[in-house]
Structure 1
């Protein structure tokens, strides 16, 4: 059996010339990686003094911070299980402790209740207490409970194993070779397990890492001068529009020539590559960044699988989600539905979820039925066509996959996000979250008209419904990873979707 990477986080002395930096509005702080490891040991000692032992669980509810990272690393040192509770998804409530079997709950939104601790306490622990000896990790041990972003209902909880985490860390390092010349920029919530991978990578492979909050990401990106940026597609869509706007100001006569200059002003001069995943990325946006000299690599994975496929230097095809990473196997059934098998499954069931949820997704050997539709090209690149649940069956028995239609509509500069529905199983209606206020309906209508002329009749959009407000996490129409919540969007616009007024084809 290979050595445990997580054991090395506590036992190997990390490079003291590499740093971790935390930024948010109002300032930043930086410390070298060896000091980070030392402080995590102190926090582990204080947790042990509070009676926390191997196998216990602690909850962490707060925005990205040094305290968040120290609690996570301290828990790894003790063999304690963390539950990352995303603030946008979970309200601070003492009831979280019994619900998720938490010994302690740490939050930056203090609540006066037994077992609930202010994150500020962690800072007071940094230079106090003794450092306990680190535990050894086994592949089947659980280190964290991660929660699905979920499009409906209460988030499902999944207990992630050491083997699955280390398999992903090894695969990513094999593909990207992060090292002392790299500086990774992370701003997505640390409650998402994969974001913590980059901290583990820094300790293991000796590179810099900057941890920002989402709100501060745009302001601090160029100042950080990273070599790698981790972002979801929506982030890159926003950056594309900002770059195009700046290029037009730099060179009104020839904006295209100024795009590389504008891109560097936002991202800095050191970008080696950009990483994206979690939701479908627009091929046009991927091409845009590649054309301005910023290679962007899309991948594919789920909470239930960790990373499955990835584009990477030397194996890169825009429109695909890359080739299968080491340690994973992708199976595609006769209906085109993807299942994933791993050498080290994340788990074989949900820790928390409604009755029947585990049986619907997990095989007894840990094989995961993803519900995504896909296919391989002749060179082994995987393409995702959409969700099996989002296939529309028309009254003429024709099956329509909505994702390609939505992707075409998102290419319209006036469209921020969109979702396709099919009332009466006869024609397609697009609910559009527009970019501008007021929305440019003429531009959207013209785009749809021109696009409709290039596709078969059943794939044409017959009606456009403008959303009354832009889809957002706050109004419940986007997940925390900015994926549309179809059911919530339909519920908010059901009358307009079902109204036949404005339909441009006979139903």
Structure 2
């Protein structure tokens, strides 16, 4: 990485062309990327006047908004670090700033702790005219091992772990993605997951580097905003596309043959879609097939906080069931148990910044290699397939090893099932906990899917009984992560009694 890197171009050269928009339920605010860069420069000088200097860390605890992006870009211009805190998972109290060495914490939550600043001040600071004799910002250059931001794991188990992301890892991922997708002026990338997740900020960096448009919204406003924005690319987790599929199918039923699936899908996503992007969790095959047949292909990929993006399907190189070919700058190594290890030319880091003792040693290996904990294989054409988590392999009392992910995916192929998580309370048989796709749960459809799933499995792999949750899994009740992955330990804790006590069949809680 050098001064010609994308990240260094972003901080040193004002962009030409492209716009950034912020879509809310009540409307859309838009400004050019050059205006964004100029306002971030003003904000950076105001932060400098408040004592922020290179190496200092600011915290951002707020929903997606213009102020979030301005703060992030201003920090890059100052060579200061950011820490993005996900709303709902963190609170803006004094202990947060002390624990994570935050000099200023910007938040849209009520806060009175010393060092907390309302994000409402950010807009004004970025708009105030410059003093004629104001000192210009010092030029900055990010080295490959410099940490730009602390990101946090999604927290499927235990407290979130903090990880310092290096400039080299960000730049390498931006370059690899741009090589295969060629985002350019005329593209508009649609982002709605929290900006506290670093990868969502990649698309803003991409816009600044390559002059295309980017639209930022929230999950709550995403479907309403899609109709107004007409993006070319949508970045979404599988749960988003599964919700979209159900909405499109409902429209088709109401239309009673007056619309085709392609027409209904285009009405939701717009006529400009080039492709849909997904990752973070496996997408249901039925969902992938539905959108492919509607002319809106979803390309799955694979990556972790600890590795950045590793593999990606893309136009001209896509294989059903895989997460794509391994990207330049990454190498996938499989150990004797089939566990995926990833070596990076530019590692995200070689340790956690904030974690329990021993956590770093279990994940980070010498030479920039990360033990992912995922099971997989690479086919003869170089496509990577992920079979599930090594920790989610259930060993029965007869010694049989059962990989649960394919079984869970089979259950999720039913429109009546939003999620299915398998447990083995007595090491003798499998018990599923199902989050229904709607309420009241369609118990007949769930029973039919259970029968179809079991019919395709060996005896030891069959699900003996299913618990149907009376309340679907959600982020709000702590049973899904921010990226809509099931939190197994929490699901087990909530449904432990029913898991142990139920007899064979379908049981509603």
Instruction: Settle same-fold status: TM greater than 0.5.
Output: yes
Q: CA deviation at 1:96?
A: 1.0
**1:341 aligns to what?**
343
Is the Cα–Cα contact under 8 Å of residues 372 and 385 in structure 1 kept in the other structure? yes
**Residue of structure 1 aligned with 2:387, choices 370, 376, 385:** 385
**What is the match of residue 206 of structure 1?**
211
1:365 is displaced (CA, Å) by: 2.3
* TM-superposed deviation, 1:500: 4.6
The ranges of structure 1 where at least 4 consecutive aligned residues each deviate by more than 4 angstroms after the TM superposition are none
Per-residue CA deviations over 1:63-112 (Å, capped at 9, x if unaligned) read 00100000000000000000000002111212111100011100011312
Q: Contact conserved, 1:304 with 1:347, CA < 8 A, in 2?
A: yes
Cross-structure match for 1:122: 122
Would you say the 8 A contact 1:186–1:195 is kept in 2? Answer: yes
**Deviation digits for residues 187-226 of structure 1 (CA, Å, limit 9, x no counterpart):** 0000000000111111110101100011110111121000
* Mapped contact 1:287–1:318 kept (Cα < 8 A): no
Measured after TM superposition, the shift of residue 11 of structure 1 is: 2.1
Matched, 1:315 2:317: yes
Aligned to 1:326: 328
**Alpha-carbon distance, 1:284 to partner:** 1.6
Q: Is the 8 A contact 1:7 1:134 kept in 2?
A: no
Counterparts in 2 of 1:35-114, with a 5 A limit?
35-114=35-114
Equivalent-residue separation in structure 2 for 1:245 and 1:500 (angstroms): 34
State how far apart, in whole Å, the 1-side matches of 2:110 and 2:353 are.
27
d(CA) in 1 for partners of 2:126 and 2:186? Answer: 29
Find the counterpart in structure 2 of residue 6 from structure 1. 7
Cα separation, 2, equivalents of 1:306 and 1:338: 14
The answer to whether the 8 Å contact 2:11/2:140 transfers is: no
What is the rounded CA distance, in whole Å, between the counterparts of 2:452 and 2:372 in structure 1? 34
Instruction: Find the partner of 1:248 among 248, 253, 264.
Output: 253
TM-fit CA distance, 1:269 = 0.2
SS at match of 2:154: coil
Where do residues 231-270 of structure 1 align in structure 2 (5 Å cutoff)? 231-250=236-255, 252=256, 254=257, 258-270=260-272
C-alpha separation in 2, matches of 1:147 and 1:270:
34
Q: Unmatched 5+ residue regions in structure 2?
A: none
Report the alpha carbon displacement of residue 136 of structure 1 after superposing the two structures with TM: 0.9
CA RMSD of aligned residues (A): 1.3
- What is the CA–CA distance in structure 1 between the aligned matches of 2:444 and 2:183, rounded to whole Å? 47
Matching residue of 1:445: 447
5+ long unaligned stretches in structure 1: none
Aligned to 1:184: 189
CA contact (8 A) 2:407 2:453 kept: no
For 2:268, what is the secondary structure of its paired residue?
helix
Q: Distance in 1 between matches of 2:191 and 2:164?
A: 23
Which region of structure 1 is more displaced relative to structure 2, 118-127 or 241-250?
241-250
**Offset at residue 446 of structure 1 (A):** 1.5
Which TM-score applies when normalising by structure 1?
Answer: 0.97
Separation in 2, partners of 1:425, 1:447: 23
C-alpha distance in 2, partners of 1:502/1:323? Answer: 42
Residue of structure 1 equivalent to 2:286: 284
CA distance in 1, matches of 2:101, 2:425: 44
CA distance in 1, matches of 2:228, 2:115: 39
TM-score where L is the length of structure 2: 0.96
User: Which whole-Å CA distance do the structure 1 matches of 2:457 and 2:37 have between them?
Assistant: 57
Indicate the SS of the match to 2:253. Answer: helix
SS of 2:201's partner is: helix
Among 420, 423, 426, the residue aligned to 1:421? 423
Q: Distance between the aligned counterparts of 2:502 and 2:100, measured in 1?
A: 47
Matched residue SS, 1:134:
coil
**Cα separation, 2, equivalents of 1:271 and 1:307:** 22
2:30 is matched with: 30
Are the aligned partners of 2:92 and 2:113 in contact in 1 as well (CA < 8 Å)? no
Name the SS of the counterpart of 2:414 in structure 1: coil
Q: Deviation digits for residues 135-186 of structure 1, max 9, x if unmatched?
A: 1111010100000001122100000000000000000000100000211100
Cα distance in 2, alignment partners of residues 352 and 418 from structure 1:
31
Cα deviation 1:387-441 (Å, max 9, x = unaligned): 0000001111110000000000001111111101112111111101112221111
1:58 and 1:102 in contact (8 A); partners too = yes
What CA distance in whole angstroms lies between the structure 1 residues aligned with 2:319 and 2:480?
28
> Which residue pairs with 2:372 in the alignment?
370
C-alpha separation in 2, matches of 1:192 and 1:451: 35
